[in-house]
Structure 1
Amino acid sequence: MNWSSAVFEYEFEFDTTIKLSSISFQRLGGYRTYIDNVSVSMRELMYLDSGKLIVDRPFEDAELWIAEYNLDGSLKNSTNYSINKGETKEYDIPSGEKSKALLWNESQVPLCGELRIN
């Protein structure tokens, strides 16, 4: 396996030390690759606080999309805002029937899960 191109995408909720390891065998032997003493931090990038939508220090430049929906699920309105890496911004919460916020990078890849507002 080519480890330079390997991608690990896992979500964990824990507060402990973990060990990730892999053993590879070749015709004349093998080798072991491991990561030890990994520090994992988790923080919210988007949350609701005191009637405001807070976007808190994204890891890269981002686009915030706020979508408002009618009760039948059809899109009523959408607005987007640009947020620079490391900025914290707050936005008014839409008063519509249903709303959600999405935080994406410039390539429209989600930076976190959607936030359902109401």
Structure 2
Amino acid sequence: MGIPARQIYVPWWSHCDDNHAWVEVYVEGDWHFLGACEPEPILDRGWFNSAASRAMVVCSRTFFDFIGEGLQKEALVQRQGMCLMYNETSRYAETARPYPWRTPRARHSPAPGSGSTC
């Protein structure tokens, strides 16, 4: 029997030029994080709690596209082959609803060089 687990990471901290990754496990219907060597044997407490609450973005990756019970709330950000990246920022930091904005362009096309295909 296995315990569902996934990598969570902050590609850039907001307070320094660095990053960090940790592990979350799926327990009793929700994802909880583990520290690697924290002295307390409890979930959701690590040295990075404060830093993660100020993070610009917190991401997770999966290598399957099965949207099971534990992945229904996550926002899919990117798909690269079999790898799916989800935005987990709201699980660690207070977030605001994105402002819906539009850039007027001819025929509603994306800006040249933006990489957007929408």
TM above 0.5, yes or no, is no
TM-score, with structure 1 as normaliser: 0.31
Higher Cα Rg, which structure: 1
- Structure number having the greater helix percentage: 2
Indicate the structure with greater strand content. 1
